[in-house]
Structure 1
Amino acid sequence: MGILSGLMGNASEIDIKRVEREFEKIFVEEEKVEKAYKLIRDLFVFTDKRLVLLDKQGVTGKKVQYHSIPYKNITHFSVETTGNFDLESELKIWISGTQMPIEKQFKNDKNIYDIQRSLAQYVLR
């Protein structure tokens, strides 16, 4: 992924070996990263067991929130594409037991489809 592309809000697939090293403190034994996408400073990490959303917070990004979602708890998800005047697309993920979805915004429809396809692959197993 180019630096400019990442700053513009486009998500792209990243190297899973680097992600495994970065996440080794929160993964359970024998958990494997299968796909990972970077969106500005945030990550979508698809493992063989769950989806982990990494949200870097603050100016420096030193504070990090790991949102761990077992695939079985994802009740549904949606993609909203860009329009003529609305230049951002959105991915929404609903989790059982919650009213409001997790929302992520993208600047490029192509990239949101890659993540949605991965999400469907794991949720629909």
Structure 2
Amino acid sequence: MIDFKNSDYVKLKQIDPSSVLKDVQPLLIEQEQIIGAYKAIRDYCIFTNKRLIAVNVQGVTGKKKDFSSLPYSKVVAYSVETAGVFDLDSELELYFSSLGKVKFEFTGSSNIIQIGQTISRYIL
């Protein structure tokens, strides 16, 4: 499991989901669709219509990967912070019933409101 308190899930930048599809495709279930993908330096996260998949790329070569599946059905609350004039980054905090808080930071170009709407659609 990824230690989200000490992870590099900061400054996630939106990427083309097809660039990481080969890694997560085997994990997807029937009728699960990728909504968006965001990447930090090496680690990345995938938002689907059912869950968030956080991928921790490990080792020197990056061939070893840790996949954490965070289903929206276990989210009890969430918080979004939009980018401002001087603070160009946005944040997403998810509160899971058995895991606790998971925090992600996105670059200003990310559409945090759309991410919040997607999560709302599946948890409300």
TM > 0.5 between the two?
A: yes
Instruction: Name the aligned partner's letter for residue 57 of structure 2.
Output: K
Distance 1:13 1:81, change over 3 A: same
Distance 1:45 1:82, change over 3 A: closer
Structure 1: gaps spanning 5 or more residues: 1-7
| 2:17 is aligned with 1:14 | yes
Identity of aligned residues (%): 29
SS state at 2:111 partner: helix
Distance 1:110 1:60, change over 3 A: same
Q: 1:10-69 CA distances to partner (integer Å, 9 max, x unpaired)?
A: 3256349x62x43233334x252241322334122314x433222334565433221112
Aligned pairs for 1:37-48 (under 5 A) are 37-40=37-40, 41=42, 42-47=44-49
Aligned to 1:118: 118
Structure 2: gaps spanning 5 or more residues: 1-10
Q: 1:99-121 CA distances to partner (integer Å, 9 max, x unpaired)?
A: 4x111111216422222222222
Aligned CA-pair RMSD: 2.9
Mapped to 2, the partners of 1:52 and 1:10 lie a distance apart of: 15
Mapped to 1, the partners of 2:111 and 2:32 lie a distance apart of: 23
Distance 1:12 1:50, change over 3 A: same
SS state at 1:25 partner: helix
55-64 or 68-77, which deviates more: 55-64
Q: Which has the higher contact order (CA 8 A, sep 6+)?
A: 2
